[in-house]
Chain A
Amino acid sequence: MNRLAQIAAPLALIALLLTAWELACRMLEVPTFLLPAPSAIGVALAADWPALLRSAWNTLAMALMALAVASVLAQLLALATALSTTLERAVRPLAVVLQVTPVVAIAPLVLIWAGLDHPGRAIVALAAVVAFFPIFSGALTGLKSADPDLERLFHLYGAGRVQRLLRLRLPSAVPFMLEGHKVAAGLAVIGAVVAEFVAGSGGAQGLAWRILEAGNRLQTARMFAALVALGILGAALHAALEHAEKAGLRWWRGR
């Protein structure tokens, strides 16, 4: 009963809002280009779904590629900085600057560097920039979070610096790295969509391009359909990563 209510409650709220929206649109006779009724969006969704699915896959593929690139670079850099406090002091401010600079602001530059014929590369690079920080920061925090008493034991048993890094600090960092990847994956999708907007061309036909294209033609219902697809993509990715994080923690802790 409780579980049923847990699933039913959000669904009921969505149904209620959609009904209110539908009724308002019909009764107030809102023009479709301004705000289409949910039924019109449903029709657009049904008509567009093969194209939307392809676009969603494009966006997802670029986000995942960016996540992979960011994961490798961020963790390598975190390992290197963990070995040397001087290096950490040198790297941290730069990493923070990179993080606080809005991705839209550097997008035009990256588009030029990647070559205007390769918007896909630019989008992956930009999404990777966004995904980099949570992984780097999580890994760095994790590498410093080893149990101090375990650190003392390693010291007592004469462990060297590399032994300590590989056998104590790296395994201690695993939960932080899992969390970092979860956050980074969500950000990578956002970064990819933002970069697609800036790229704006048909070279990379992701979901943002669907929104732009429909917007240029004032086909508002199709814009909403693309937004729905984006929402579903985000939610599915979040659920998948939440699951992956739990599985990872179970493996790490053995329970």
Chain B
Amino acid sequence: MVAALSSVEVAYPGRGQALGPFDLTVAEGEVLALVGPSGCGKSTALRLLAGLEAPTRGTVTRTPGRGETAVVFQAPTLAPWLTARANVALPLELSGVPAAEAARRADEALARVGLAGAETARPAQLSGGMAMRVSLARALVTGPKLLLLDEPFAALDEITRRALADDVLKLWATLRPAIVFVTHNVEEAVYMASRVVVMSRGPGRLAGDIAVAGALPRPDGFRTTAEFRATVETVSDALAQGIAA
């Protein structure tokens, strides 16, 4: 286990209950998708796992080490005044890694996400997909045990998001972090995850926990297989019930 939420509840003053009670255990090296309707608190659950927020009730268990948890947000969230290399090196530099060493590891991380040669580019010079890759490289540079993705591809076009989904799985295969990602796209969830956790409408509770068969990274044509279609249907049904509940 790398992280767990046990009967957590989050309530915001003036907005009432936003999440829970909700339980979630993330096993080492698994890829888990968190699916639910808008406002169900899935991003809140992710922030709890990241330690960016504390629950109102319940307990959060997580690896407390610096750089062991990494987050990628919906937007690339890069510092516009820094080059791609400096952006990726930032987490290392903040934890005291010498500048030269940090730059070297940043270049390696950029090469892993297919951005060798773009080290000195500024975020404004990158396309949306490239900026997202830089963001991914920054998350991976510390070698995290847990990678949290908050609707990371929502702002990208379909072709770019499919390419990035495959790339994330390839990176996962080499580094093996546990990945939790939030999405409202059922097909994307089933394609990327070995386990899909469905949440009910807000305040979100567990509405389904569905295992996805098949190898990760996905083989070519996985989206057209009968199992894939069937799992998508199962998840969609669970989602529909969760919304109706």
Contacts and interface: CB of A to CB of B under 8 A. Distances in A.
Contacts of A253: 80-81, 122, 124
Interface residue range, chain A: 20 to 34
| B interface SS class | loop
A167 B89 CA distance: 12
Given A157-B95, A252-B81, A253-B122, A149 B67 contact: no
B128 interface: no
Interface in B71-113: 71, 73, 75, 77, 79-83, 90-91, 94-95
Contact of A150 (B52, B69, B70, B79): B79
Contacts of B50: 152, 156
Contacts, number: 59
B193 to A, nearest CB: 23
A155 B95 CA distance: 11
B79 A156 contact: no
Contact of A171 (B52, B79, B142): B79
Nearest to A168: B79
Contact of A149 (B73, B80, B123): B73
Contacts of A158: 66, 94-95
Interface in A136-159: 147, 149-150, 152-159
Contact of A157 (B66, B75, B122): B66
Given A254-B122, A255-B122, A156 B69 contact: yes
Interface in B39-66: 50-52, 66
Given A150-B77, A168-B79, A254 B94 contact: no
Contacts of B123: 254
B69 A149 contact: no
Contact of B71 (A152, A159, A172, A252): A152
A157 B91 contact: yes
B185 interface: no
Which one of B67, B77, B95 has the greatest number of beta carbons of chain A within 10 Å?
A: B77
Interface of B: 50-52, 66-67, 69-71, 73, 75, 77, 79-83, 90-91, 94-95, 121-125, 142
19 contacts: A147-B77, A149-B73, A149-B77, A153-B77, A153-B90, A156-B70, A156-B71, A157-B94, A167-B94, A171-B79, A171-B81, A172-B79, A253-B124, A254-B80, A254-B81, A254-B83, A254-B122, A254-B124, A255-B124
Interface of A: 147, 149-150, 152-159, 163, 167-168, 171-172, 174, 252-255
